């Protein structure tokens, strides 16, 4: 995640292209960590919906994330209180910089949400945070780690996932859903 992208309806693609990626063994994982005493990652142990919405909104606004913002409060609270969901927040010098959300499912552990707030993009933090999340998934006993990205995400998202060891197993194209327009 390097550059900021301002998008308008004029540059909105007509088609949503979603790529599904996976890692089927820890041996495929190629981590990239940043050694910086001012960067640390913590589990969000208590569900705080306002803080979560702040993270989701500030990380995803530029990429038109909306699902969790339009989700009814009781559904979001239930989703985050699910014992199979863990949200890890990255802090830089005490400031929340981004997060990675892992969701254990029958088919493996999904990197459900991942990203940085705009002011932290371009500092080499995304590879560190993603590596940390993947390592956590494997440490928690994942037999497979998977993620999806689309053509509305950061232009370097796919490259970042591939560099960490993910490989594409499916691509789906559909007309752009109204919620992104």
Helix 125-139 crosses helix 157-164 at what angle (to 10 degrees)? 50
Helix (H, G, I), strand (E, B) or coil at 166: coil
Selection from 121, 118, 173, 119 nearest residue 151 by Cα: 173
The per-residue pLDDT for 5 is: 37
| CA atoms within 13 A of residue 32's CA, in its CB half-sphere | 12
Sequence-distant (6+) residues with CB within 8 A of 24 are 143, 144
Scanning the chain, the segments in alpha helix (DSSP H) are 49-60, 67-70, 73-81, 125-139, 157-164
The per-residue pLDDT for 155 is: 86
Please check whether residue 127 is in contact with residue 94, taking contact to mean a CB–CB distance below 8 angstroms: no
Digitized pLDDT (tens) for each residue of the chain, 181 residues in all: 223 334 444 477 888 899 999 999 999 999 999 999 999 999 999 999 999 999 999 998 888 888 898 899 999 999 999 999 999 999 999 999 999 999 999 999 999 999 999 999 999 899 999 999 999 999 999 999 999 998 888 888 999 999 999 999 999 998 887 776 6
The per-residue pLDDT for 67 is: 87
C-alpha Rg value of the chain to the nearest Å: 16
Q: Which tokens in the block code for residue 164?
A: 């960490």
The per-residue pLDDT for 180 is: 67
The whole-model pTM stands at 0.89
For residues 48 and 148, what is the distance between their CA atoms, to the nearest angstrom?
Answer: 25
The per-residue pLDDT for 16 is: 83
Q: Which CATH architecture has domain 9-180?
A: 3-Layer(aba) Sandwich (3.40)
Going from the C-alpha of 27 to that of each of 67, 102, 152, the distances in angstroms are: 33, 19, 30
According to DSSP, the residues that pair with 172 across neighbouring strands are 18
The per-residue pLDDT for 127 is: 95
How many residues does the structure list for the chain?
Answer: 181
Strand order in the sheet with 15-23: 39-43, 85-92, 95-105, 108-116, 145-150, 15-23, 167-175
For residues 142 and 107, what is the distance between their CA atoms, to the nearest angstrom?
Answer: 9
């Amino acid at each position: 995640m390097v550059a900021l992208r301002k998008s308008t309806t004029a540059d909105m693609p007509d088609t949503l292209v979603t790529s599904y990626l996976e890692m089927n063994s820890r041996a495929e994982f190629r981590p990239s960590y940043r050694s910086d005493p001012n960067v640390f990652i913590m589990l969000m142990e208590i569900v705080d919906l306002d803080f979560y919405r702040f993270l989701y909104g500030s990380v995803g606004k530029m990429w038109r994330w909306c699902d969790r913002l339009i989700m009814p409060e009781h559904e979001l609270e239930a989703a985050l209180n699910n014992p199979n969901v863990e949200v890890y927040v990255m802090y830089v010098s005490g400031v929340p910089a981004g997060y990675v959300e892992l969701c254990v499912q029958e088919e493996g552990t999904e990197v459900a949400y991942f990203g940085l707030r705009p002011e932290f993009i371009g500092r080499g933090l995304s590879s560190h945070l993603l590596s940390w999340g993947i390592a956590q998934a494997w440490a928690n006993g994942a037999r497979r780690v998977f993620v999806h990205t689309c053509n509305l995400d950061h232009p370097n998202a796919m490259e970042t996932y591939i560099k960490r060891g993910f490989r594409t197993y499916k691509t789906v194209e559909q007309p752009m859903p109204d919620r992104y327009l």
